[in-house]
Structure 1
Amino acid sequence: MTSLHEELLRRNNFHTSSTRSWEAIAGLGWHEPTPSTIPLAAVRTVSVVIPAHNVGYCLLAVLDALENQHHRYRFEVIVVDDASTDNTAAIAAGHSIVTTAIRLPERMGAATARNLGTALTRGQTVLYLDGDMLLPPHVITDIAARATDTSVLVGFRHNLPYEAHQGGHGVLAQHPNLAADHRVVWRPPVGRPLLYTGVTLTEPVDGSPLDHTHDFVDLGYGQRYVDWDLPRMVVTALVAVPRAAVVDIGGFDPEFGRIGWGMEDTYLGACLIAAGMLVIPLRQAVGFHLDPPDADEQWQQKLATWPDTLARYWDLIRQPAPTGRSRAFTTAMTDLLRICEVLR
């Protein structure tokens, strides 16, 4: 049976013809912010899924930004509280933009939270958005107008330290900077192993993964750009995917959340690519990623679990690509929902 790794070697990422065809129909650049009046914005329905754990410091601003989207059509917002110990659940339950708010009975990790949120969606496209990601007002329309059954639309993030945002209100008076994302401007360390591949650089690299791979086109067929490959470009801080495709592969692997931090989105990306999806960046879809007050401490805790989640990822890559798991996924999420608290 063909492994997921072998499937990735067979898949190109030649999305240029798709983006150019869209531009010809829309009369708009692929990477331009999208007017709310564009007719194509009504083509796909969108559901926003937000996994949330202890993001009470910024969730109100994140939800306010969703409420202020200039998208003219209805979209869902589903928040899954991963057993937070702060006021995250109360904020989600009380905000008018939230369609559904669910609370897990114990902390299960972002992968499980996203799976449960996905099971509750009705939109054709699922936008995975972190609970600390603040979106400019055009982003939902950018995604709704461009989404298809065969595309993974990748957005970007501009990280802000807590002292620079203090909860996020007023931040969107600024403009997030595309170059702040490591997938766009990358200065890797020299003399120590890189996180993903373990490669050790002996000289500095002036990296521009997005530009140097021609908007990820050159990452097809399993190609790499030093420490980056196509699955690793799929970051669920801000990414839109076809719901049907996610359900068919069985959603996110929940084991990542039990082990620690990271790699569940990379694995999702690998599975979707193996299923025939094209990974296409949206340079205009950049959000502010709002750090918590204890960001340094949290980062160290996350990095401590990275070797274990990375090891699981490489193990799964050697196994067959998942497919035909819709029924099992739905059953598992139905069972999980029975023990959750419905907040809204």
Structure 2
Amino acid sequence: MGVTTLDEKLLHRNNFHTSSTRSWEAVSGIGWHEPTPSGLPLAAIRTLSVVIPAHNVGYCLSAVLDALEGQHHRYRFEVIVVDDASTDTTATIAAQHPIVTTALRLPERAGAGTARNLGTAVARGQTVVYLDGDMVLPPHVITDIAARATDTTVLVGFRHNLPYDLHQGGRGVLAEHPHLAADHRVVWRPPVGRPLLYTGITLDQRLEGRPLDHTRDFLDLGYGQRYIDWDLPRMVVTALVAVPRAAVLDVGGFDPEFGRIGWGMEDTYLGACLIAAGLLIIPLRQAVGFHLDPPDAGQQWQHKLARWPATLARYRELMRRPALYGRSRTFMADMTELLHTCEVLR
């Protein structure tokens, strides 16, 4: 019998999370997708570490950290910022903001995956929340995650992109609540007449897809099933996602090669590894943050897309390899070595 590839492993994994969400609702007395009251008594609440990879986000990092400082979570949680060799004020902001418990600076740019790996290695929480350095959270989100997290679930949040001229570095319309439907995983209008990013299929008519609704909160994406261009690993987006730290260590964290090649796919690959390990992917519809675009968002996006084919090829190559397990010791050894090269800002 041949070695089972990661692709093949996913064909044998379901995403039947209904019993988990209903059990939590029965114990807590509130809905899975409802914002969590700050005083809700939950004995099983988990410790959290928020890990923020940061590269040239000086224009908005203060707003992101201010939002974390304003969380109504009643328990202490770590905030770890890993500066990916920024050339602006990112490192200074991370070093000085009072909510930050640990701030590290990589000696040279390595990519968000490596920055997240380093943050995960030094984290002490049972659950790691990966948060982009340009993602502003409403005050209930950390409690939403901590109250629902387990060692067998990946909790997925959503993002509402704001153009720079609307937020101006974290100001502007941030008093309003972000909208769930602004995320492409919720309302999706794919292009017509050109290949879609993941599957390469071409649509010949306009479509308003609703991946979240039409898959019943991702329930129907198990066993390798797709919703047009979407599958379950693709729902794991590190703008806002919470994962069990032990599970991330066991699969070896994010593949750092993606950051060296270009942009994207390292979170999708991590999602595939965690699903293969038996974890369930569960959305939190109330966990929606403002994703603050930089002043040159259009230019950055074009640069990212130009490098997309290479990272997609890397992803497909890894999916044809065996699933990884038992990588914790190697992962920690690699990160310890990397830590020795970093500047400790806080």
Aligned to 2:57: 55
Aligned to 2:150: 148
Alpha-carbon distance in structure 1 between the residues aligned to 2:277 and 2:233: 12
- Deviation, structure 1 residue 99: 0.4
Aligned to 1:78: 80
Aligned to 1:163: 165
Alpha-carbon distance in structure 1 between the residues aligned to 2:167 and 2:155: 27
Equivalent in 130, 133, 136 of residue 135 of structure 2: 133
Structure 1 letter corresponding to 2:286? Q
Aligned to 1:12: 14
Question: Counterparts of 1:206-285 in structure 2 under 5 Å?
Answer: 206-285=208-287
Aligned to 1:203: 205
- CA contact 1:160–1:290 (8 Å) conserved in 2: yes
- Deviation, structure 1 residue 169: 3.0
Aligned to 1:343: 345
| Cα displacement string for residues 250-285 of structure 1 (whole angstroms, at most 9, x for unaligned residues) | 000000000000000000000000000000000000
Aligned to 1:94: 96
- Count of residue pairs brought into register by the alignment: 344
Aligned to 1:317: 319
- Deviation, structure 1 residue 173: 1.1
Structure 1 letter corresponding to 2:133? G
Aligned to 1:112: 114
Partner SS, residue 174 of structure 2: helix
- Unaligned runs of 5+ residues in structure 1 are none
- Deviation, structure 1 residue 89: 0.1
- Deviation, structure 1 residue 39: 1.7
RMSD (Å) for aligned C-alpha atoms: 0.8
Alpha-carbon distance in structure 1 between the residues aligned to 2:172 and 2:161: 15
- Give the stretch that moved more between structures: 34-43 or 331-340: 34-43
- Deviation, structure 1 residue 172: 3.4
Runs of 4+ that moved beyond 4 A: none
Alpha-carbon distance in structure 1 between the residues aligned to 2:38 and 2:303: 41
Alpha-carbon distance in structure 2 between the residues aligned to 1:121 and 1:17: 30
Structure 1 letter corresponding to 2:121? A
Partner SS, residue 10 of structure 1: coil
Alpha-carbon distance in structure 1 between the residues aligned to 2:86 and 2:43: 35
Alpha-carbon distance in structure 2 between the residues aligned to 1:188 and 1:302: 18
Alpha-carbon distance in structure 2 between the residues aligned to 1:167 and 1:330: 35
- Deviation, structure 1 residue 43: 1.6
Alpha-carbon distance in structure 2 between the residues aligned to 1:30 and 1:106: 41
* TM-score with structure 2 setting the length: 0.99
Structure 1 letter corresponding to 2:45? V
| Percent sequence identity over aligned pairs | 82
- CA contact 2:167–2:174 (8 Å) conserved in 1: no
- CA contact 2:138–2:289 (8 Å) conserved in 1: yes
Alpha-carbon distance in structure 1 between the residues aligned to 2:188 and 2:37: 31
- CA contact 1:46–1:76 (8 Å) conserved in 2: yes
- Deviation, structure 1 residue 71: 0.1
Structure 2 letter corresponding to 1:312? R
- CA contact 1:42–1:73 (8 Å) conserved in 2: no
Alpha-carbon distance in structure 2 between the residues aligned to 1:171 and 1:83: 30
- Deviation, structure 1 residue 42: 5.9
Alpha-carbon distance in structure 2 between the residues aligned to 1:341 and 1:118: 17
Partner SS, residue 245 of structure 1: helix
Aligned to 1:43: 45
Partner SS, residue 114 of structure 2: helix
Alpha-carbon distance in structure 1 between the residues aligned to 2:34 and 2:169: 28
- CA contact 2:166–2:172 (8 Å) conserved in 1: no
- Give the stretch that moved more between structures: 241-250 or 164-173: 164-173
- CA contact 1:71–1:141 (8 Å) conserved in 2: yes
Equivalent in 297, 300, 310 of residue 298 of structure 1: 300
Alpha-carbon distance in structure 2 between the residues aligned to 1:171 and 1:146: 29
Aligned to 2:179: 177
| Cα displacement string for residues 173-224 of structure 1 (whole angstroms, at most 9, x for unaligned residues) | 1010000000000010010000111111112122000000000000000000
Alpha-carbon distance in structure 1 between the residues aligned to 2:171 and 2:154: 30
- Deviation, structure 1 residue 171: 4.0
Alpha-carbon distance in structure 2 between the residues aligned to 1:164 and 1:253: 34
* TM-score with structure 1 setting the length: 0.99
Structure 1 letter corresponding to 2:333? T
| Cα displacement string for residues 64-114 of structure 1 (whole angstroms, at most 9, x for unaligned residues) | 000000000000000000000000000000000000000000000000000
Partner SS, residue 35 of structure 2: coil
